[in-house]
Amino acid sequence: MPNILSHICERTESYLASLPKKARKSIGQFFTSRETAAFMASLFRMPADLSQAMLLDAGAGTGILSAALVERLQEYQATLNNIHLVCYENDAQIVGLLRDNLELLAKQSAVPLTYELREQNYIVSQRADYEKTLFSRAKHEKFDFVIGNPPYLKIGKDAPEALSMPDLCYGAPNLYFLFAGMGLFNLKDDAEMVYIMPRSWTSGAYFTKFRKKFLSDGKLTHIHIFDSRNDVFDHEDVLQETMIVRVKKTSTEPESVTITSTHGNHDFHDIHCYQAPYHAVVTGKDNYVFILSNDTDKETVSQISHFNHTLPDIGLKMRTGLTVDFRYRELLSDIKTDDTVPLFYSQHIKNGKVVFPVSKQGEYIKTTQSSLLQMNTNLLFVKRFTSKEEHRRLQPAVYLSSEYKEYSKISTQNKINFICGEKELSTEQVFGLYVLFNSTLYDNYYRILNGSTQVNSTEINTLPIPDLSTIEQMGKELLAMHNMTEMACNHVMEKYL
């Protein structure tokens, strides 16, 4: 078979040039690069005696992934008698090109290939089959190989797709995980799917229902992460952190998961590979997925999982700052007056301390609106956003109310998070929390848990932490050291691991 994948990629580029990106973005359309498609196809482990292969590519676009998989299957000409490929694509603009590409694929495949192009909504068109199985096991066409790069699109909680798969949804879902869930549903037992997904589903409460079902009906056997987001989609500027997963439809846990990563190269030459124990990757009652790249990561997760409390367990909570500053411009002031209170921004977080004022615009707020104000109590501030280039994801600072005695209330901008207590935290307790959040261990842990640069308070509230008296003790030790550095925090932490 001549290099048909490259040919289809060239045709895709011409198509791309003819359409504004905005139009494709509104339907979640991004195309996989040739290298990524070939890599994805290479991940499938082939059954020994495969004679017939049923392939599924949902949201097929121009058919890049189908072509990559068919190309891979050419290696099995000796045993393979027939390939049947099913593509779903509901964008009327692209189906013409997809049909041409599938026709070409059928012509050039050395293994006899038949195909069906279903111009239907992949999710909604299967609603009846999917729902029926919740009650009785209806007979339904199943596939040997499922490959996909699903649309990335948030939809309403009452959208027809969301209503078709209610068992996966919690609030407004994203089409990508409905596609992944349906892909697994469409797979034969013990067969594998290879899917591109953003990394967001691996943690957080929002995806819990999906994670539980997906990882109960299937098991992760390979995870590939990209260091650079643009490696996956040529020319596309996709801002999501992306991963490729290979999932086997089985209830049996494998011993390990292969975790690979590439660093800024487009051709998958320089692949870093780590074999991680399955139970260390998929853990906890919420099935969080930890992307471990080496033994240090494995050790980090194991050390932290020995702590058996969470912030809410010990009467504390991380919350997101209260004030969306640009919505309340008229309340902001650059200078202090009798009726203003400090509004803390991430710019006030400096090397573990809160420095205020810093002559920043709008660093005071004048309001009586209770939703924008909080009691002036001891807090641990943690920046909500950091950049990828910064050394740390977790950047905390100790806030002591005694340093701002004249105020009974203060406010916080929504780009910082803060940890507060049901009862006011003592100075030692805030310093103890600082030890945790400024340690290398917790920073690594958060990085493994959540690939994004955003610190999400819901997630922090589920992190394992020690009990309050241990935290207090840690704070005392740090205070005695008169040193707020990461090294000092690591030194204090060491004893408690």
Q: Which stretch binds ligand SAM (CB under 6 A): 28-36, 45-53, 235-243, 276-284?
A: 28-36
CA 70 from centre of chain? 29
Considering the complex, state which of residue 41 and residue 349 has its C-beta at the smaller distance from ligand SAM.
Answer: 41
Residue among 257, 287, 268, 195 at smallest CA distance from 226: 268
Q: Which stretch binds ligand SAM (CB under 6 A): 55-63, 299-307, 368-376, 439-447?
A: 55-63
DSSP 288-324: EE----SHHHHHHHHHHTT--B-TGGGTEEEEE-SB-
Half-sphere exposure of 494 (CA within 13 A, CB side): 7
Q: Which stretch binds ligand SAM (CB under 6 A): 68-76, 88-96, 264-272, 281-289?
A: 88-96
User: Is 409 strand, coil or helix?
Assistant: strand
Q: How far is the CB of 223 from ligand SAM (least distance, A)?
A: 18
Q: How far is the CB of 179 from ligand SAM (least distance, A)?
A: 8
Backbone conformation region of residue 45, classed left if phi is above 0, alpha if psi is from -120 to 50, else beta: beta
Q: Is 265 exposed, middle or buried (0-12, 13-18, 19+ CB in 10 A)?
A: middle
Structural Rg of the chain based on CA atoms: 26
Q: Which stretch binds ligand SAM (CB under 6 A): 89-97, 209-217, 369-377, 445-453?
A: 89-97
Half-sphere exposure of 3 (CA within 13 A, CB side): 8
Q: How far is the CB of 28 from ligand SAM (least distance, A)?
A: 5
Considering the complex, state which of residue 121 and residue 347 has its C-beta at the smaller distance from ligand SAM.
Answer: 121
Of 4, 9, 83, 89, the one binding ligand SAM by CB under 6 A? 89
Considering the complex, state which of residue 30 and residue 431 has its C-beta at the smaller distance from ligand SAM.
Answer: 30
The secondary structure element, H or E, covering residue 224 is strand 219-226
* Beta-carbon count within 10 A of 14 CB: 10
Residue among 437, 419, 418 at smallest CA distance from 486: 437
Considering the complex, state which of residue 31 and residue 356 has its C-beta at the smaller distance from ligand SAM.
Answer: 31
Token pair of 287 as six digits? 């099935």
Site membership for ligand SAM, residue 65 (CB under 6 A): yes
Q: How far is the CB of 166 from ligand SAM (least distance, A)?
A: 16
Q: How far is the CB of 147 from ligand SAM (least distance, A)?
A: 8
Site membership for ligand SAM, residue 33 (CB under 6 A): no
Q: Which amino acid is at 388?
A: K
Of 7, 11, 25, 27, the one binding ligand SAM by CB under 6 A? 27
Of 88, 288, 418, 431, the one binding ligand SAM by CB under 6 A? 88
Q: Which stretch binds ligand SAM (CB under 6 A): 1-9, 146-154, 242-250, 387-395?
A: 146-154
Of 101, 109, 126, 149, the one binding ligand SAM by CB under 6 A? 149
Token pair of 75 as six digits? 């290696």
Q: How far is the CB of 485 from ligand SAM (least distance, A)?
A: 44
**How many residues bind ligand SAM, per CB under 6 A?**
23
Of 46, 47, 76, 91, the one binding ligand SAM by CB under 6 A? 91
Considering the complex, state which of residue 94 and residue 354 has its C-beta at the smaller distance from ligand SAM.
Answer: 94
Token pair of 375 as six digits? 């009691």
In whole angstroms, how far apart are CA 289 and each of 110, 192, 456, 458? 40, 19, 16, 16
Site membership for ligand SAM, residue 64 (CB under 6 A): yes
Of 29, 203, 221, 412, the one binding ligand SAM by CB under 6 A? 29
Token pair of 491 as six digits? 């030194």
Site residues (CB under 6 A) for ligand SAM, limited to 106-145: 121-123
Q: Which stretch binds ligand SAM (CB under 6 A): 29-37, 44-52, 353-361, 453-461?
A: 29-37
Q: Is 280 exposed, middle or buried (0-12, 13-18, 19+ CB in 10 A)?
A: middle
Half-sphere exposure of 340 (CA within 13 A, CB side): 16
Site membership for ligand SAM, residue 430 (CB under 6 A): no
Site membership for ligand SAM, residue 90 (CB under 6 A): yes
**Greatest distance between any 2 Cα atoms in the chain:** 85
Cα–Cα distance, 114 to 131 (Å, whole number): 29
- Strands 219-226 and 242-248 turn out to be antiparallel
Site membership for ligand SAM, residue 477 (CB under 6 A): no
Strand partners, 88: 58, 118
Considering the complex, state which of residue 121 and residue 490 has its C-beta at the smaller distance from ligand SAM.
Answer: 121
Site residues (CB under 6 A) for ligand SAM, limited to 156-195: 175
Residue among 429, 435, 438 at smallest CA distance from 496: 435
Cα–Cα distance, 395 to 202 (Å, whole number): 22
Of 41, 151, 210, 465, the one binding ligand SAM by CB under 6 A? 151
Of 5, 8, 9, 28, the one binding ligand SAM by CB under 6 A? 28
- Tokens 């994004």, located at residue: 452
Of 31, 130, 145, 206, the one binding ligand SAM by CB under 6 A? 31
* Residues at the site binding ligand SAM, with contacts judged by CB under 6 A: 27-32, 59-61, 64-65, 88-91, 94, 121-123, 149-151, 175
